[in-house]
Amino acid sequence: MATPSWQADVYTALKAAQIRQIGYVPDAGHAHLIEAAHADPDMHPVVLTTEEEGIALAAGAWLGGQRAAVLMQSSGVGNCINMLSLPQNCRMPFLTLVTMRGEWAEFNPWQVPMGSTTQAVLGAAGVHVRRAERPEEVAEMVAAAASLAFDSAVSVAVLFSQRLIGSKVFVK
């Protein structure tokens, strides 16, 4: 299956924003970004055991003079609530790209609660939230989110709608 061009454009936008580290918990919705990061000698991909570690990774990268982005699924946002105070209190940038679950054609009922509250939860935690619904808007949105995060030292999340990334199918 060919990679949708918008996913390649997202990686290009991250590179243009000088992202050098990508923290992630494995996720099919971010598979292209993860594979691209592993194939790129200028990128340092880091597998996380849990999503909140990505916030600490991003803080450490910033303190070390590099930029990082964290890839997660909407269900992982709930794991990050306490840790989201770190970049806010320390006035550090934080950029995360979130693949949404619990929306379009979801088969797993356990994904629905966090999927339906992700945007509100992030907003309540002080994160600036942008939501991508169409392929043609994704790369520009990621580029603008990276500029906002790193130029203003704020937390920014870009949510990739489940309809955009495609619904997962349970295979027996």
Domains of the chain: 5-165 (3.40.50.970)
Structure confidence at residue 170 (pLDDT): 61
Residue 101, pLDDT above cutoff 90: no
Give the span between the Cα atoms of 71 and 4, in whole angstroms: 18
- Alpha-carbon separation of residue 51 from 40, 128, 135 (angstroms): 22, 18, 25
- Alpha-carbon separation of residue 150 from 17, 30, 114 (angstroms): 9, 22, 27
Give the span between the Cα atoms of 45 and 63, in whole angstroms: 17
In single-letter form, the type of residue at position 40 comes to D
Please state, rounded to an integer, the average pLDDT across all residues of the chain: 93
- Alpha-carbon separation of residue 25 from 20, 53, 117, 162 (angstroms): 17, 10, 20, 17
Q: Model confidence over 16-50: pLDDT tens digits? A: 999 999 999 999 899 999 999 999 999 999 999 99
Kindly state the tokens that stand for 19: 């992202």
Structure confidence at residue 10 (pLDDT): 96
Residue 58, pLDDT above cutoff 60: yes
CB atoms inside a 10 Å sphere around CB 101: 25
Q: What is the pTM assigned to this prediction?
A: 0.93
Give which of 45, 3, 26 is closest to 138, Cα–Cα: 3
Kindly state the tokens that stand for 142: 């990621």
